[in-house]
Structure 1
Amino acid sequence: MPRSAGFGPVVVLLVCVLAGCDGGVRGVAGAPGVRDPYFPKSGNGGYDVTHYGLTLDYEPRTRRLVGKAEIRARAEKDLSAFNLDLKGMGVRSVEVEGKPARFNRSGDHELTVRPRDDLGGGDVFVAVVRYSGVPEVITDPDGSEEGWLPTEDGALGLGEPTGSMAWFPGNHHPGDKASYDISIAVPEGLEAVSNGELRRKTVKGGRAVFDWHVPEPMASYVAVMAVGKFGIRRSEAGGLPVYVAVDPQEAAASGAVLGRIPEVVEWAELNFGPYPFSSTGAIVERENDAGYALETQNRPVFPGVPGVELLVHELVHQWYGNSVTPRSWRDMWLNEGFATYAEWLWGEDHGGDSVQDVFDALYEGDYFDKKADNDAVWDFPPARPPSAARISDSPVYERGAMVLHKIRQTVGDELFHDILRGWATTRRHGNADTDDFTAYVEKKAPDEDFSGIWEDWLYGEGRPAAR
């Protein structure tokens, strides 16, 4: 087509102004949250983290933490900016792909990063955040505390549901899992225990540096950092490394139960399939250092000496919760219902009540000592907690486990066993929601009708009628 005389340069200039002719990507800002139904501002949109490299230095005397986070991620669309979750800490600098990036803080925990050059969809990039300060203790909607908890001889970093943003920047939602390398320097004489495997420990200039490596995907809420005077025990469970860290005050009383970790892992592998990670173990703090036990990946945290049932519960979370991770916080029953059912199975296999006896006691209101606790099982459906403050309440645990037993009653022991193992295997190191699970069960038993279980036990209000 012939060029129109007189207007060509003007048209080209106008197009460049409107569309951009500098050869760069015209991106948009990533969302500051992923619209989780209970924690809508947690996590961030527009990218997927594949690896965290954390370099930390902690001084218990002043409670000051100095950190550098190298975050490798993939842009899921063209981005002019993206957010990270980081609460309280001061940010010194941010780089993206080796170039200084502009950044600002807004809201309770949003760190907005504007790279010098826009990121194209599909691009893999590295962001480096240098930060420091006194990490905060975060109070959950249910009143429990997480984040960075100071202890008498160090600190304990716990993350469920949002506490990890107190000690490192990231995409803090269970839907985004990544591998980790965590290096931390602490005063010589203290231990620093984290997830994965301890690659090396070096001591120089009065500082001990611990380098931990997590090769498998991990949600940030099950990341842990425990600094203190721990006794360290190393052993094996069928060739699997077992790394246990115990506060000296708890050492004598905890020996017997922690010695059963290989037995519990072997039993769990028979029921749920191969152990999904490259090491296991436990961290035992003093009784008042945390208000709860937590299934931190590779080695759960216990405040004081756990009973064997609690040990079973937290270790089985390595399959259900840590390997098969909920897509959103609404799906917590897929963690807690499974781990609670594992406690019942352990009892059934080790001379205790049968699972059916436990189910009947809960249904009849005879399980707990207090009537209020028995009534609380029916407060809401396990798949629909009414608020963020209720995602760890009894219906998520006990009634969630009862849903699993209703499936067992329907399909029989052999197929139920296949469902437990198959679910853990099919979704290994991934994310899943309730719809994924119900579809999986229906596929495994296509001749059965599960609609009553889903309607009455999983989503129904109140105590279902006996059938």
Structure 2
Amino acid sequence: MVSCPHRIADVSRSAPVVPAAALLTVALALTLTSCTGGGGGGGAGAAPGSAGLRDPYFPRLGNGGYDAGHYALTLAYDPEADAPLRGTAVITARATRHLASFNLDLKGLDVESVAVDGVTARWKRAGQELTVTPADAGLDEGKTFRTTVRYSGAPQTLTDPDGSREGWLPTADGALALGEPAGSMTWFPGNHHPSDKAAYDLTVTVPEGLHAVSNGELRRESTEDGRTTFSWRTAEPMASYVATLAIGTYEIRRSTAGGGEGEGSGRLPVYVAVDPSQAEDSRAVLGRIPEVVAWAERYFGPYPFSSTGAIVDRPEDSAYALETQNRPVFPGAPDLSLLVHELAHQWYGDSVTPKSWRDMWLNEGFATYAEWLWEGDHGGDSAQETFDALYEGDYFPDAASNEAVWDFPPARPPSAARISDSPVYERGAMVLHQVREAVGDDAFFELIRGWAAVHRHGNADTADFTAYAEKFAEEAAPGADLTPVWDDWLYGDGKPPLA
């Protein structure tokens, strides 16, 4: 029984493509570029939308003044071309104030044109910010508008504060796009903060013989003149950091599972794409996806999306697994515990998404606790035994890792470089176990199912969780005191005393 942080593998490399039609993202940079286009902008009372959402760890990610509802992305990828990626992003959004201008996150790539509601707009670049000034009097508060960005170039690979690689990752036969926390802005423009979720349509053209695998459901696949086009649709809201695109040679496996929000028969489509080098090693574990989903539904409630599955690339392609929506990405064949972890994220992280990167423990603590529950139900250590091993310093094989669990409270990582450290995972799971101890088993499992239901397809932060748990405990477990859990385990420094 090993706890599996979400960062664990490598990626794949991309192939040729065509035009693009809609997306949103975020990043970090500082170059000043120029603008083009026509039209004026402004109007009485109009003001620019903010260029960042002041996230505690990534303040320049995201943009204010509008709410994105849908990304239509049309992409063509050709690794032999001078500009290997060409795209058109059509972003449908609603203005939340009277906007004279607004920003999109886009790192690298060359912008060719920008239009708002079909009218050419002025634009300028500064680092990761693409500032758009619509023609005429700007955008009235409440107005739904559509922004079309045409762009091209060679997408970049970013290095995170913790040293991991994200963004556009070249692989031996294509590319793999991973977005946590800011990588999506390297391949499409958008509002790249987890607090602004949207639906997606993604159409990707690649050289014949390659696959382009993304989130949601495959609506169409066709080949003409040596190129194959794949059209994917994600109807449920999705944060851009869990959007993915994997281009390469894959073995495709399709099956079904029970439950979920699938169309027609009520069966849940399972779509798995595996690099041929990993096919044999991964066959047995990926064959258990329907079993894991059915098990998780008993604890967490109905599966929140209309399909599930996985993408498995070579171990050298990425250094971590990621809970990309509908089908998590793995660096090589995953073990069963890691599969459980990433599928649990479909409820906690993908459906219930954090309002800011400070709230990562709500993703990782829940997914880690899911591992503990699975182990206990399948002949391994119980959740209590795992908790005890962590508390007593016997969980990891080395003393440094055992001590690192207490480095900081899970709700207060000291920096962006630490949001994927052990306290967010293991101590985050220990917080949940302490809640369970305080309210009792029946109330606890009702609580975590209710949390997933109340915030389904939305966003929530730590304050939302503690308030929900307090209110729930008042009704379901009268007399339970959660204050020590929050004070000592969630926010307290050092190793808390056991009650």
Q: Place the TM-score, normalised by the shorter chain, in its bin.
A: over 0.9
Q: Which residue of structure 2 lines up, in the alignment, with residue 441 of structure 1?
A: 469
Distance 2:42 2:277 in 1: 63
Q: Which residue of structure 2 lines up, in the alignment, with residue 7 of structure 1?
A: none
Q: Residues 43 and 100 of structure 2 are in contact (CA less than 8 Å); yes or no, is this contact kept in structure 1?
A: no
Deviations 1:4-54 (A, max 9, x none): xxxxxxxxxxxxxxxxxx995541000000000000000000000000000
| Unmatched runs of 5 consecutive residues or more in structure 2 | 1-40, 259-266
Distance 1:84 1:427 in 2: 26
Q: Which residue of structure 1 lines up, in the alignment, with residue 160 of structure 2?
A: 140
- Aligned partner (choices 152, 168, 175) of residue 155 of structure 1: 175
Question: 2:388 is matched by which residue type in structure 1?
Answer: D
Q: What aligned pairs does 1:211-360 form with structure 2 within 5 A after superposition?
A: 211-238=231-258, 239-360=267-388
| Unmatched runs of 5 consecutive residues or more in structure 1 | 1-21
Is the counterpart of residue 113 in structure 1 residue 132 in structure 2? yes
Q: Which residue of structure 2 lines up, in the alignment, with residue 11 of structure 1?
A: none
Is the counterpart of residue 42 in structure 1 residue 67 in structure 2? no
Deviations 1:48-100 (A, max 9, x none): 00000000000133471000000000000000000000000100000001100
Question: 1:362 is matched by which residue type in structure 2?
Answer: L
Q: Which residue of structure 1 lines up, in the alignment, with residue 23 of structure 2?
A: none
Q: Which residue of structure 2 lines up, in the alignment, with residue 72 of structure 1?
A: 92
- Aligned partner (choices 225, 228, 232) of residue 208 of structure 1: 228
User: More displaced, 377-386 or 442-451?
Assistant: 442-451
Is the counterpart of residue 388 in structure 1 residue 416 in structure 2? yes
Q: Which residue of structure 1 lines up, in the alignment, with residue 407 of structure 2?
A: 379
Q: Residues 25 and 120 of structure 1 are in contact (CA less than 8 Å); yes or no, is this contact kept in structure 2?
A: no
Q: Residues 60 and 153 of structure 1 are in contact (CA less than 8 Å); yes or no, is this contact kept in structure 2?
A: no
Q: Residues 42 and 99 of structure 2 are in contact (CA less than 8 Å); yes or no, is this contact kept in structure 1?
A: no
Q: Residues 25 and 78 of structure 1 are in contact (CA less than 8 Å); yes or no, is this contact kept in structure 2?
A: no
> Which SS does the other structure have where 2:316 is aligned?
coil
Distance 2:168 2:44 in 1: 39
> Which SS does the other structure have where 1:460 is aligned?
coil
- Aligned partner (choices 358, 362, 387) of residue 390 of structure 2: 362
Distance 1:228 1:142 in 2: 27
Q: Which residue of structure 1 lines up, in the alignment, with residue 206 of structure 2?
A: 186
Distance 2:346 2:498 in 1: 33
Distance 1:183 1:199 in 2: 10
Structure 1 pair 452–23 and aligned structure 2 pair: CA distance change class (3 A) = closer
Q: Residues 42 and 100 of structure 2 are in contact (CA less than 8 Å); yes or no, is this contact kept in structure 1?
A: no
Q: Residues 166 and 180 of structure 2 are in contact (CA less than 8 Å); yes or no, is this contact kept in structure 1?
A: yes
User: More displaced, 448-457 or 223-232?
Assistant: 448-457
Question: 1:407 is matched by which residue type in structure 2?
Answer: V
How many percent of aligned residue pairs carry the same amino acid? 67
> Which SS does the other structure have where 1:119 is aligned?
coil
Q: What aligned pairs does 1:121-132 form with structure 2 within 5 A after superposition?
A: 121-132=141-152
Question: 1:463 is matched by which residue type in structure 2?
Answer: K
Q: What aligned pairs does 1:83-122 form with structure 2 within 5 A after superposition?
A: 83-106=103-126, 108-117=127-136, 118-122=138-142
Question: 1:208 is matched by which residue type in structure 2?
Answer: T
The number of equivalent residue pairs is 445
Task: Report the Cα offset of residue 449 of structure 1.
Answer: 1.5
Q: Which residue of structure 2 lines up, in the alignment, with residue 61 of structure 1?
A: 80
Question: 1:465 is matched by which residue type in structure 2?
Answer: P
Distance 2:92 2:320 in 1: 32
Q: Residues 101 and 132 of structure 2 are in contact (CA less than 8 Å); yes or no, is this contact kept in structure 1?
A: yes
TM-score, normalised by the number of residues in structure 2:
0.88
Deviations 1:196-222 (A, max 9, x none): 000000111111000000000000000
Is the counterpart of residue 419 in structure 1 residue 451 in structure 2? no
Q: Which residue of structure 1 lines up, in the alignment, with residue 432 of structure 2?
A: 404
Distance 1:164 1:415 in 2: 39
Q: Residues 177 and 218 of structure 1 are in contact (CA less than 8 Å); yes or no, is this contact kept in structure 2?
A: yes
Distance 2:319 2:282 in 1: 18
Q: Residues 42 and 101 of structure 2 are in contact (CA less than 8 Å); yes or no, is this contact kept in structure 1?
A: no
Deviations 1:162-212 (A, max 9, x none): 000000000000000000000000000000000000000011111100000
TM-score, normalised by the number of residues in structure 1:
0.94
> Which SS does the other structure have where 2:381 is aligned?
coil
User: More displaced, 274-283 or 57-66?
Assistant: 57-66
- Name which one, 1 or 2, has greater alpha-carbon Rg: 1
Q: Residues 66 and 131 of structure 1 are in contact (CA less than 8 Å); yes or no, is this contact kept in structure 2?
A: yes
Q: Which residue of structure 2 lines up, in the alignment, with residue 456 of structure 1?
A: 488
> Which SS does the other structure have where 1:402 is aligned?
helix
Distance 1:330 1:425 in 2: 22
Q: Residues 154 and 228 of structure 1 are in contact (CA less than 8 Å); yes or no, is this contact kept in structure 2?
A: yes
Task: Report the Cα offset of residue 243 of structure 1.
Answer: 0.1
**Which of the pair has the greater relative contact order for Cα pairs under 8 Å at 6+ separation?**
2
The ranges of structure 1 where at least 4 consecutive aligned residues each deviate by more than 6 angstroms after the TM superposition are none
Structure 1 vs Structure 2 CA RMSD = 1.1
Distance 1:60 1:243 in 2: 26
Q: Which residue of structure 1 lines up, in the alignment, with residue 6 of structure 2?
A: none
Distance 1:131 1:92 in 2: 5
